[in-house]
Structure 1
Amino acid sequence: MTDHDTLNGLEPALAAGKTQGIEVFPGVEVSVRFKRDFFTGTLHVLTYFPGVLLNDSGFVSRFKTLLSAGRGQGLVRARIEKINEVFGPGSQSPFLSRNLTFEDIAAYSDNASRRHFAMALEERLGVSDKNTITRIIGNDSPAYLPSGVDLEQVKGFIKTEPVVAVLAHPAAGSFPGEGHYKEVLPPVEIVERLLPEFLDAGVRGLEVNYPGHSPEHRALLLSWARKYDLLVTGGSDCHDSTHRPLGAAGASREEFEHLKQAVLL
């Protein structure tokens, strides 16, 4: 189980799993930002580790220091200011009836993601058109500021800490239809172009089994895994019980055991 850029839910999850007799395998989904001429945006790296490391104050502190560079109130406020500048009342594209505020976003989460911005735009500012929301917060938006940590920072952490890194949902940006899984991730061709950099950073696996991956893309990702001798994993990317339910996709028992063995070595 991983969450975006935070360790805060892991100890409660491990405790709940122990109570219910369910093995909980912990990790963190780290956001990695890119600002390139061919791609501006964020990709995700899943970092798995033994649960006992949550008792290691040094490991936890170093991980939190890494994550703090990618999110936080500073990034949220900067994004809000840019959105208001480009799309607020009086701008050249006045899509908003009023300026977005920090309180609008903070009402949803202290660790705000793009999903919380989308919810605030729809529920608090009345922007109901999904295409308009994407235009405001998507990668191609003139107001877009990518979140996440620079890949070099992630590389330093992966190389020095006992974590196993897996590239999350590499083909989700090429999902061939409408849905939450496509969102604003780049097409698989962009991910393939960046793959050598992820491998150099220490990524050892690919999340192949994923609800937003077509059979053709799963076959492509499996070919990458064979070519580079990578672990094969899976996940549902559960964000809620309606649009992204738990258990929609996942690794096989064999794939999970291979990942577990790699983490516990």
Structure 2
Amino acid sequence: MEYADLHLHSTASDGTCPPGEVVRKFAETGFSIISITDHDSVAGIDEAVSAGNELGIEVIPGIELSTIYDDKEEIHILGYYIDWQSDKLKKTLDNFLYSRKIRAEKIIKKLNDIGVKIDKDKVFKLAGSEFIGRLHIARAMVKEGYVKNVSEAFTEKYIGRNGRAYVERFKMKPREAIELILELGGIPVLAHPGMYGWGECIDEKIIKEFVDNGLVGIEIFYPCHSELVRNYYLKMTQKFNLLVTGGSDYHGKGTGRDMVGEIKLPIYYVDKMKARINR
């Protein structure tokens, strides 16, 4: 049987492997289709698609957009088969990059104020691209010996949500992300729904709201989703005629999300996505 993994990150956002290397790892493991879905970035897609062509593995152009629901809950919306070269998308993502850069500078200043003396230039160099996220700051904290691991950095003591050095940044609303992905000719999918602050099973009313906004699918097969959670969202996909997707949320070595092959999505589900695009 052929398999896919539709949720992978590279150095174009907060992963540790270059896009081409991610493609190679999954090709060597026997996957036939993958999607690079970097956070608020499509900078790795050209390299990934090129590597896929060389290695004989299909690379679906994707993205994972960060949004804020009701000014409280951060929600991620995945987009597949998007026009990643769109001028509108580029302008939107440029705004995100600027927002992340300013946020990173503020977080680093707050950390310095509480005695965590990390250098801004070193953090930006560690990131290795224009994309600067909290994970890069956390890695710098590990490197400088302030915390034992990335997880320790993501606590209220440091840069976790509501942490002493946490700073919010600009995020679009879920509806805006869904509409943008649709405008780009893509398929908007709710990412890892069992991982948000509402609890593992999001209220059906919220799912319906997203569907009314244009949501097309739900990421059901995900490492942290229990069988109970999967079954709940499978019922939601049946009720609202939504697509089923899945992926490992691979980020690479040293991130805690580095297992290639943790999720093996049957190609059947990708065929359903393609049929939705072509209908």
Could you state the TM-score of these two structures normalised by the residue count of structure 2? 0.73
Structure 1 residue corresponding to 2:163, chosen from 141, 144, 157: 141
Structure 2 residue corresponding to 1:169, chosen from 192, 209, 219: 192
Instruction: Give per-residue Cα distances to partners, 1:161-202, cap 9 Å, x unaligned.
Output: 3111111111134xxxxxxxxxxx663356766433422321
CA distance in 2, matches of 1:99, 1:238: 27
Shift of 1:237: 0.9
Q: Which is worse superposed, 7-16 or 150-159?
A: 150-159
Instruction: Give per-residue Cα distances to partners, 1:77-136, cap 9 Å, x unaligned.
Output: 234325634x543xxxx3x33265254244224212232222122223622263453222
Query: Relative contact order: is structure 1 or structure 2 higher (C-alpha 8 Å, sep ≥ 6)?
Result: 2
**Change in 2 beyond 3 A, CA 1:84/1:194:** farther
**Change in 2 beyond 3 A, CA 1:88/1:160:** same
CA distance in 2, matches of 1:245, 1:151: 29
Structure 2 residue corresponding to 1:47, chosen from 39, 57, 79: 79
Letter in structure 1 aligned against 2:251: H
| 2:15 paired with 1:15 | no
Letter in structure 2 aligned against 1:196: K
Shift of 1:29: 1.3
Aligned length: 238
Shift of 1:20: 1.5
The aligned residue for residue 180 of structure 1 is none
The root-mean-square deviation of aligned C-alpha atoms, in Å, is 2.7
**Change in 2 beyond 3 A, CA 1:191/1:83:** farther
List gaps (5 residues or longer) in structure 1: 174-184
Percent sequence identity over matched residues?
26
Letter in structure 1 aligned against 2:262: A
Is contact 2:62-2:81 (8 Å) kept?
yes
List gaps (5 residues or longer) in structure 2: 1-34
**Change in 2 beyond 3 A, CA 1:79/1:104:** closer
Instruction: Give per-residue Cα distances to partners, 1:19-61, cap 9 Å, x unaligned.
Output: 122122221111113463xx34x221111116xx45xx5xx21
Structure 1 residue corresponding to 2:272, chosen from 250, 258, 261: 258
Is contact 2:77-2:174 (8 Å) kept?
no
Aligned to 1:240, what secondary structure does the other structure show?
Answer: coil
The aligned residue for residue 91 of structure 2 is 65
Could you state the TM-score of these two structures normalised by the residue count of structure 1? 0.77
CA distance in 2, matches of 1:113, 1:132: 13
